């Protein structure tokens, strides 16, 4: 047995669509296909059974980890990497703090850029994993 990733309903292994919600087998990101437990966008493994998940919002483009990291290192003081990743309010905050502190807060963006490149920051604002 498998479970619908959209509604969590039990499905036959040979089923093409879920009889409960009508979603194609394998589509959705709300439930683990292995055990049927709820999941969240951006989770890589089910906390209940440990199965690997692919909980990416359908249609969402994966952002580049390298591009985000380099933007953070070079232009982090004005939050460009956060705008790229969709964290717009954090980007605006970085600009404001950099202006108020005469550039001293720019270290924050530089450190975030290093963290992105090292893999400590793994997702964008929507929880979509960054691609290498």
SS3 labels along the chain = CEECCCCCCEECCCCCECCCCCCECCCCCCECCCCCCECCCCCCECCCCCCECCCCCCCCCCCEHHHHHHHHHHHHHHCHHHHHHCCHHHHHHHHHHHHHCCCCCHHHHHHHHHHHHHCCCCECCCCCECEC
Same domain, 42 and 78: no
- 10, β-bridge pairs: 3
Q: Is residue 89 part of a domain?
A: yes
- Give the model's pLDDT for residue 22: 84
**Burial label, 5 (beta-carbon count in 10 A; 0-12, 13-18, 19+):** buried
Cβ(122)–Cβ(132) below 8 Å: no
Select from 55, 81, 98 the last residue of a domain: 55
Residues in a beta bridge with 24: 17
Q: Is residue 25 part of a domain?
A: yes
Q: Domain tally for the chain?
A: 2
Same domain flag for 70 and 51: no
- Supply 120's token pair: 């400590």
Co-location of 72 and 90 in the same domain:
yes
Look up tokens 């807060």; give the residue: 105
Residue ranges, the chain, pLDDT below 50: 58
The answer to whether residue 126 sits within a structural domain is no
pLDDT of amino acid 97:
94
Domain span at residue 30 reads 1-55
Model pLDDT, residue 33: 81
Q: Is residue 34 part of a domain?
A: yes
Return the pLDDT at 54.
Answer: 67
pTM for this model (two decimals): 0.58
Tell me, yes or no, whether 2 lies in a domain.
yes
């Amino acid at each position: 047995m498998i479970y619908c990733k959209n509604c969590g309903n039990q499905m036959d292994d040979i089923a093409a669509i879920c009889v409960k919600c009508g979603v194609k087998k394998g589509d959705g990101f709300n439930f683990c296909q292995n055990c049927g437990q709820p999941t969240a966008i951006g989770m890589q493994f089910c906390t209940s059974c440990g199965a690997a998940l692919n909980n990416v919002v359908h249609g969402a483009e994966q952002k580049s980890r390298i591009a985000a990291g380099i933007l953070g290192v070079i232009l982090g003081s004005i939050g460009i990497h956060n705008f790229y990743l969709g964290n717009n309010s954090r980007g605006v905050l970085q600009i404001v703090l950099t202006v108020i502190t005469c550039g001293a807060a720019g270290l924050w963006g530089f450190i975030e850029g290093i963290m992105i490149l090292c893999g400590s920051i793994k997702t964008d604002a929507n929880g979509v994993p960054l691609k290498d």
